[in-house]
Chain A
Amino acid sequence: MDDADERAFAEYFRARRDTVRRTAFLLCGDWHRADDHAQSAFVALHRHWRRIRDPLALDGWVRKTLVRAVIDESRRPWRRERSTDRTPEVAGVDADVATRTALVDALRSVPPRQRAVLVLRYLEGLDVAGTAAALGCSEGTVKSQTSHGLAALRGILGDSLDDLREAG
């Protein structure tokens, strides 16, 4: 990349790094791994910078790279996730912190693809079509994964999830 491209990349990196890290955190539930994935996504972006002509497409490109990397990693032996029937412990802490912690813990118990759909839809605010494009799947799959993911969350969080949804 020439100097102008490097400056443009650095500017984009400064503006978006923490947003990408936050998304990565909800996808994997761990800041160390979130940083690994976010860094890998930015490295891939740097390598493809000159081929992404449309600046408005940058966010979508990074999001797609990040989500697919997290899902791929969850299949690898060193990070393969194990399901657990351990209920998140939330007693004895501030209510807001408890809710936040419970949601993060509950998300970690949701299968990776369903979790990715939930994060893209609720954290990133993507619609069904945008989520399908990011994950490289059909809109029907996004709808069913959303339904299954919410059911999984409800199985863990119980009424507190319904309270959040019904109050919308």
Chain B
Amino acid sequence: MNSMDPRNDHRLAAAFRDAVPEPPEAGFSADDVRRESHRIGRRNRMLLTGGVAAAVIVLAGGVTTGVVLARDGRTTTSAAAPAQDSGSGARELGAPDLAREAAPGGSGAAVAPAPVGVPLGPASGRDCVNPQDPELRALVDTALPALASARQAPTTMVCRQGGGREVNLEVVDGDLTGLLSVVYTPPGEEPTQTAGAVGWVMEERSTASGGLVTVTSRAQSDSGGVPFAAEVATLADALAPRL
């Protein structure tokens, strides 16, 4: 090749333009765009409200715990002491760290799902979101046992901070194969996923901790069906009160 200066590459530019065939009928309209935009706007407002509510609950719980302990004469710490210092009270306030640390097997091992009524809530102690969160996986396997044997999908670490959780699975549903992901977005964080036009099934639910759980199933190829398409909503319903 004689030159690497793209300004001289008129024929190559023409070839790029010609490479795009006449597009098929579009899979979305301006109305679809408006609806999706408004849906995301509502979702974000809901998350913001949920985040503020969760923060108020945690703050009120911390103050209450401090006051109770001070009245019992068992402590002289400030009335606004963090709720995590109060043992079992922390679980009731949605802080799962103590039980997690006591769980056998440690990080990456099979983990028992959190009891019903105690939301798992945001992850903590990690700089980046774990794309294969063992505690979330335990909840997923309990909610939809057909996924218990699913292999973890290979992932590229994209460092998102903020206490989120993810599970990404290679799934087989009869003849259908694909990838199923469960993403928990904690209160106050911006969800990163939006719905696609074709080959996806996605459901979102507000969670007990004020966050958002998004369950997405994608066909392995655009021509195939979506695995577990009928179970996506059920899975989201089952996970919402536990997260």
Contact = CB atoms under 8 A, between A and B. Distances in A.
Given A39-B36, A122-B13, A33 B222 contact: yes
A37 to B, nearest CB: 9
A96 B24 CA distance: 19
B41 A47 contact: yes
Contacts of A80: 154, 156
B23 A75 contact: no
A122 B1 contact: no
A31 B23 contact: yes
Interface stretch (A7-15, A53-61, A83-91, A133-141): A7-15
Contacts of B194: 40, 43
Given A25-B20, A147-B4, A18 B131 contact: no
B222 to A, nearest CB: 4
A150 interface: yes
Interface in A24-74: 25-26, 30-33, 35-36, 38-40, 42-43, 46-47, 72
Contacts of A77: 131, 153-156, 168, 179, 181
A137 B222 CA distance: 32
Interface in A142-168: 146-147, 150, 154, 161-162, 164-168
Contact of B6 (A6, A25, A40, A121): A121
Contact of A18 (B2, B10, B26, B199): B26
A6 B34 contact: yes
Given A33-B222, A77-B168, A165-B12, A100 B21 contact: yes
Interface residues of A, number: 54
A21 interface: yes
Contacts of B10: 168
Interface string B38-58: 001100000000000000000
A36 B158 CA distance: 21
Contact of B179 (A36, A78, A118): A78
B108 interface: no
Nearest to B152: A77
Nearest to B196: A36
Interface residues of B, number: 50
A78 B181 contact: yes
Nearest to B18: A100
Contact of A162 (B1, B26, B28): B1
A35 B156 contact: no
Contacts of A33: 196, 222
B137 to A, nearest CB: 14
B116 interface: no
A32 B1 CA distance: 35
B15 A32 contact: no
B30 A164 contact: no
Interface in A80-119: 80, 96, 99-100, 103-104, 107, 118-119
B105 interface: no
B83 to A, nearest CB: 35
A25 B2 contact: no
Which one of B15, B36, B153 has the highest number of Cβ atoms from chain A below 10 Å of its Cβ?
Answer: B15
Name the 3 nearest CB pairs between A and B, nearest first. A78-B179, A36-B196, A46-B37
